[in-house]
Amino acid sequence: MKTMYSSQYLNFVFRASVACLVLIAATPPVSAQCHEWVRRSLGSQENFPFHPVGYQSSPNLTFDFARGLSFHFLWVGPQPPAPGAEPQMWYWSGKVWTKTVVANSYVEGSLIAPDRRTQFATASDSERGVVVLFGGNKVCNCPLAGTPMNDTWEWNGSKWMRLSTSGPPARQNHAMTFDSNRNVIVMFGGSPQVGPQLSDTWEWNGIEWLQRNPATVPPARTYHQIAFDSRRGVTVLFGGYSQNIGGPMAETWEFDGVNWTQRIPEHSPPARLEFGMAFDAARGVTVLFGGRPNPPTPFGDLWEWDGEDWTEITSTIEQAPRYKHLMCYDHRRKKIVLFGGQLAGDVSTDDTWEYPTSLSLEIVTQPTGGNFCFGDDVVLSVEATGNGPLSYQWRRNGFPCMAPGAQTPTLTLDAADWASEGEFDVVVSDSCNSVVSSTASVSLCTGEGGCPSPIDVNGDGTIDGADIQRFVEILLCDCG
């Protein structure tokens, strides 16, 4: 298991080039509290008036950008055409689940909502504010029962609309994600009713499906997961079940919109299927939890992919091992949301968890520079939110400062002179992560407009030996 490193510690070293003590960064282990699960709901045990039921062969949980809430679509009730079955849309606010029903009396084939199905896939299009659904296995008391479907639906936050019944072949147990760089839904794999598994790549642009033909493709599979890494602009694929090998897989692949590339990391989760995976946009990592090998003994391990290697995360709050659970990233609250699944012994659960417990570290107000006169007091400030107490380190031209306030939210450069000019930023750290602000440029005017002459280096209004002394001091040390 690798050790996680993130937030910056500061150590003194001697920088001979300027004969000054300056600060450089070293990276300590991340606090354990940064990688904890927190249980938000016990499910039906809490007797909530509204709560989605446990595993219903509806492997979908995505973020509805139209409403800013995590979204789960499922069917409840007897198989159609028996009365009482209804499609339900559930929303998670971070505290409670809320149910939305599209019609009081649903009629099969009415196009009010997707017909009842299992093993379908959904993904959320943040550009158009819709949730896209494709395919699945038809459920009905009819000759078509168990037949894979090839229809495409979109949910806009208030109603469903069927947009296409053409494009990719009908399938089930496939995976979809939204590529926010190219504004397309990416779909890979799955299986037809009969015949070999699929290894095709398709994209939905809101109007039509287009098949991609990359030079290299992952082997065909089902029960895998894909997630779009918006930090690096690639779709990440892991795991799944292979007919060819007769078991689960442990491969990591990435799709850049042109070609698939297999990654060979030093560490990797064991082979698995029916796991959960989502990209944490706030921390820039793909998060994987649970699943099962073959036969079904659930995993309870947690992994993160940073684009170079998989890291197994140790949490003091252990999740119950499970598979067939649902996971998505809540873009509003910056949390991974997990719902339900199957526990050991094939026991269904409908609890809700979130990860990580720490707040995302975010700079709310960036520092602002400007053009100043010699002798002015230059004040740069930053505002940030994060997990627990925050630490600050201001830098000038990439080197940490030791001016007043250099380790506070506000840096003050008293009586600005040539040493005050430069590109300033600040490293903000909490117990979990570090983030760097945008750059604030500080420059001094050249004597016009009432500013002192630049030859008056110390800004006292007189050109004398003190200016030479101050000039030498500037050459020897940074940041005043």
Rounded Cα distance, 136 and 461, in Å: 80
CA–CA–CA angle 136, 93, 313 (5° rounding):
75
Q: Which of 105-109, 112-116, 258-262, 349-353 has the highest mean pLDDT?
A: 258-262
Residue-wise pLDDT for 317-326, tens only, equals 778 899 999 9
20's tokens: 């000054």
User: Higher confidence at residue 193 or residue 386?
Assistant: 193
Q: What is the pLDDT of residue 5?
A: 29
Q: What is the pLDDT of residue 17?
A: 25
Q: What is the pLDDT of residue 365?
A: 94
459 pLDDT band (50/70/90 cuts)?
A: low
What's this model's pTM, rounded to 2 decimal places?
A: 0.72
393's tokens: 């380190």
Q: What is the pLDDT of residue 125?
A: 96
- Going by C-alpha positions, the residue among 465, 184, 214, 221 that lies closest to residue 455 is 465
> Is the per-residue pLDDT at 300 higher than 90?
yes
Mean pLDDT, the chain, as a whole number?
82
Query: One-letter amino acid identity for 289?
Result: F
- Going by C-alpha positions, the residue among 303, 271, 299 that lies closest to residue 285 is 303
Span 251-270, mean pLDDT?
Answer: 98
Q: What is the pLDDT of residue 49?
A: 38
61 pLDDT band (50/70/90 cuts)?
A: confident
- Going by C-alpha positions, the residue among 179, 161, 167, 58 that lies closest to residue 124 is 179
> Is the per-residue pLDDT at 226 higher than 50?
yes
Rounded Cα distance, 259 and 261, in Å: 6
9 pLDDT band (50/70/90 cuts)?
A: very low
Rg (C-alpha) for the chain, rounded Å, is 28
Rounded Cα distance, 459 and 145, in Å: 86
Q: What is the pLDDT of residue 415?
A: 84
> Is the per-residue pLDDT at 3 higher than 60?
no
Query: Quick check: 152 and 132 in contact, CB under 8 A?
Result: yes
Span 375-394, mean pLDDT?
Answer: 88
Span 155-180, mean pLDDT?
Answer: 93
> Is the per-residue pLDDT at 111 higher than 80?
no
445's tokens: 């005017």
Strand order from edge to edge, sheet including 62-64:
62-64, 69-76, 86-92, 97-101
Rounded Cα distance, 248 and 237, in Å: 14
> Is the per-residue pLDDT at 178 higher than 80?
yes
7 pLDDT band (50/70/90 cuts)?
A: very low
Q: Which domains does the chain have, with CATH numbers?
A: 37-355 (2.120.10.80), 361-476 (2.60.40.10)
Peptide bond into 409 cis (omega under 30): no
- Going by C-alpha positions, the residue among 76, 115, 118, 73 that lies closest to residue 92 is 73
Q: H/E element holding 263?
A: strand 260-263
Work out the percent of the chain whose per-residue pLDDT is above 70: 78
Query: Quick check: 88 and 58 in contact, CB under 8 A?
Result: no
Strands 370-372 and 440-444: parallel
Sequential DSSP letters for 346-376: TEEEEEEEEE--SPPPEEEE----EEE-TTP
CA distances from 133 to 145, 267, 341, 403 (A): 19, 33, 20, 56
Rounded Cα distance, 91 and 54, in Å: 15
Q: H/E element holding 39?
A: strand 38-41
Span 369-392, mean pLDDT?
Answer: 87
Q: What is the pLDDT of residue 132?
A: 96
> Is the per-residue pLDDT at 38 higher than 90?
no
Q: What is the pLDDT of residue 307?
A: 97
Span 122-145, mean pLDDT?
Answer: 91
Rounded Cα distance, 257 and 251, in Å: 19
Q: What is the pLDDT of residue 453?
A: 57
416 pLDDT band (50/70/90 cuts)?
A: confident
